[in-house]
Chain A
Amino acid sequence: MIRKLSAAVLALSLLTGIARAQTPPTGQTGQTAQNTGTAQPPVKKVVTHYGPLVTKSSANLTVNLGDVGFTGSLPFDEAFGITVPIDGTVVSVAVWYRLKPKPYTAVTPTAACNNGWTKLDAYPPVGNSTNYQFTVPALKPNKYYQFFFSYKRKPDAIDKAALTTFTQQVIGPALEAKARTTAIGRRNFEFTNGEVNAIMDAIKGKIRAYVALKNLSVDFSLIDYGQYANLFNTLKNVSNAHQTSEDIKHNIEQNDRAFAAVQARLKHYRDTYNASGHTPVIAANVKLMDDIALALPAFLTPPLDPSTITAGLVSNYTTTCTSVLSSLGRIDITGDATYATLADDLGQFVQSNRQGVQDYYQSLQDATALAGAQSSSFVDIVTANLSNDVIIKGTTISGDFNTSASFYVSGDLGIAAVPQFSKAVPYLGTNIYFRPVNKDITLAGSPDDSFGDKFGRRFSLMFGLSIATLAKTNYRTDLFGGSYNLVTGAGFRITDYFRLNTGAIWYQKLNDNPLNSNSYIQPAFFVSFSIDLDVKTALDSLFPTRKP
């Protein structure tokens, strides 16, 4: 028994000889820890993300989540900073954090709503710096935290082109779906507010889906009134352009219907005129009228299908019209008021349609160009929001940051007063705290600390060995022989380095009968002051307190 205790004393002596607190190394967050907090922000420590935070490919925007993360554990009980290097595609960065909730919820913050997260103060790059910095308030020890990074950025040209196409893909069908013919005979491209909202929602959905494929997201909640008005104007302008095309088309179709009467008059006149004689002039005029009649089917089928109309079809049609007008101009009939009126009406219709089809084709071109430009404007607004107001959640650091450490262990040297023996004995002890203690901060901590935080930094259990004898002949001997007795108790740090302790010193009491050699272990109350030994060397390797 004595041998076993002696072995324990030896081990304890070794430990207490080198005992020192395990405190999280200042600013250490793994092998990449840097202390870059120079001018701003006003924080003591800086945690730099490890690995490329943002990776940009030529074809798309990629935020490489896999390479983002903190190494090591985060500081606790003190504010620290996070440095985020950005590249040229990142306009700004926002960071939120939270304790990992139990049960876990996947809700994430937006620029409009923190959703239970806490947004960090941001310090954008100044001068030539490309680093964003954030200040993190003191974190609780032994907790899991999550940090949510949101990068505001602009899509590249390829992405913008794709978004523009998507926007057009929404607007086009929406226009067609809307353009029902009204009672006044023309298709209507007016949109109600509800229809406008539906179109915008559809466009947003397309854009959202597109960026989601790139692990990005769009927060449209920050589109302000002015930007919404611009978006509305894009739709209105496209609607107006389509309405112009529709007006021309409707006008041509209406004139074609009205032309039926002119066509009948021409046929009647030709038949009557043909019966008036067979001079070469009459024969030539009849031939010309027949040529016109042959061309009229083509004249009455103008290329008005916007999906098939081409410049070639328009050219063919205008050639037909010009041919009709040419034939009409070569008819040699004078002094006949009926023919003059007929020729004038016929000429007007042909001229009107010739101009109308040209205008219609041009209006379609204009509408298509405008739709493209306006869709691009729409995307510009969105992307402007991306760089100003709208957030693309380009990356989140979704990993958990373990701030926990093993129980804090420190060693101290004290002098214990034992009233029972009227003696004071020095001892070496070890203090065990029930929470990690960051000794880089003041004992008082911060005003935000809870009672538990403050108490936890001060209170500890203590055990050790007295290093002066308590032996008294015929009364007691030292527990471990030599001059060693077990010291147990609890302590309370009253300053950074001084501790008030109390407890019991365990010694071996001898039997009152000198002839009886049996002895038994007895405690003796003590009060002590001790000094934090603050030995920082070997214990770091012997008692690694921080998880990798």
Chain B
Amino acid sequence: MSFAGLVLDGLLALSLPVLAWRALSARDLYRAVILFITFGVILALAWARLGAPDIALAEAAIGAGITGALLLNTVGGLSRKNDKDDERPDEPTDRVGRPWRTRLAVTVPVTILAGGLAWAVLSFPAPVVDMPSLVGEAVAEGEVSHPVTAVLLDYRSYDTFLEIGVLLLAALCVWSLGLSAVRSTAPEAVSGSPVLAGFVRLLAPAMVVSGVYLLWAGTSQPGGAFQAGAVLGALGVVMVLTGLLVPSLGRGGVVRAGLALGFAVFLLVGVVSMLATGGFLAYPEGFEYGLILAIEFFLTFSIALTLTALFTTVPPREKGGGA
């Protein structure tokens, strides 16, 4: 490692905890969100330095991109107009006086937990099985040549299957909160603002091409359903925010079916493969590539739709705070 690389790593390692602390203790919600987005960018760079381009890609898409927009969407929905005169609800928690019993009740378990975690990490036994080389050997025989995709959708497909279930549950939970439908602050913004309309027009094709590219690339290099879904979902988010998609994306049966499609196809493949080979999600010999690609395709669609659906509702604005 060269000296320059060492300095770069040091800067990254130094800025991450500082940013995390500033984001958590920020007095202003906007500032916290901006710091969170910055944290996502720096974290993506840190993963890149650590030689994990897959995670850098996912962090760039989800941490720095989608989550930042989702948080801004929420902050924009929480009106601050009405609490200007009252006590500010976004005061930093460390300025709020708490009795020593409360502090002790929080500090002691957290310290014990942190100490236990540190002890567990330090006392890890040497791995008995050399997983990376095992995966490497299996990938050399398999048809999906990118190890991360092979692990996610072949060797550990059960985990991925449950993750998709969690995503579906998240969308259902947000819907059941009974929030009001998203309403942009300027309804005719797209027709009224040539900059925004032109921006969306430029961004949309690039996002569609990149999304499909990432899905296709996932079999041989970093990419795959989650990243492709995040990019296509971001396109849906932009269209919801600019008012292009709201009338057509309600909660009808088609949208519900679309949300469940990825999970359903994954389950179907699992059951059929169980009937054929006797193991849940144990793909029959020779069909791995086609099945994995089919699952990834439907997953991408459902992930993109789920992310878009998360943006169609917002927390209610307080009375008088409406746009």
- Tell me if chain B binds chain A: no
B interface list, Cβ under 8 A from A: none
